[in-house]
Amino acid sequence: GASRGQEAAARLLQIPGVKEANWTLADLVASLGANRDADRARTSLRTELLQVVRKIEDQNFAWPFRQPVDTSEVPDYLEIIKDPIDLFTIDKRIRKGEFYKNREMLRTDLVRMALNCKEYNDPNSTYYECAVNLEKYLATVFT
């Protein structure tokens, strides 16, 4: 029997204008297969990126990064930090599936998260220490 891809392609050929646009059954089968491969790759990337975030969240230094900075408690934060980021926002972006195209894009946000923390907080603070530990950890995750 015909594969599901061939059956779907055959249905697409019945749409008015598809044959007239010179699409063939082979073109449609190939196109559907490429879409399926792209979906699989996106799902695989999403799983991998979520695993990275989970590993970070499990670290004892991750607590300052789990939620966005509460600007009602830290009113000048957005005056100093122009591009805030946190693990909650990153997780949301990963789950949506369109923001991060690769591991490097995730790494960039995670590094920025540490740099934001170091920029805003005193070098002797616990927050700054957490950011330094995050940077060290990221060096082991992204080798």
* Token pair in block for residue 8: 């779907």
**Residues 64/84, Cβ–Cβ less than 8 Å:** no
Find where tokens 């591991």 sit.
Answer: 103
Give the CA distances from residue 91 to residues 56, 65, 97, 139, in Å, rounded to whole numbers and listed in that order: 11, 12, 10, 20
Give the CA distances from residue 63 to residues 10, 39, 51, in Å, rounded to whole numbers and listed in that order: 54, 33, 17
pLDDT-based confidence at residue 61 (cuts at 50, 70, 90)? very high
- Cα 143 from Cα 132, distance rounded (Å): 17
Q: What is the pLDDT of residues 66-86, one digit of tens each?
A: 999 999 999 999 999 999 999
- Cα 109 from Cα 22, distance rounded (Å): 44
| Average pLDDT estimate for 22-27 | 87
Q: What is the pLDDT of residues 112-142, one digit of tens each?
A: 999 999 999 999 999 999 999 999 999 999 9
**Residues 79/85, Cβ–Cβ less than 8 Å:** no
DSSP 125: S
- Cα 117 from Cα 85, distance rounded (Å): 10
For 97, list phi and psi in degrees, rounded to 5. Answer: 95, -5
31: pLDDT strictly greater than 70:
yes
User: Taking the alpha carbons of 15, 21, 25, 29 in that order, is the dihedral positive or negative?
Assistant: negative
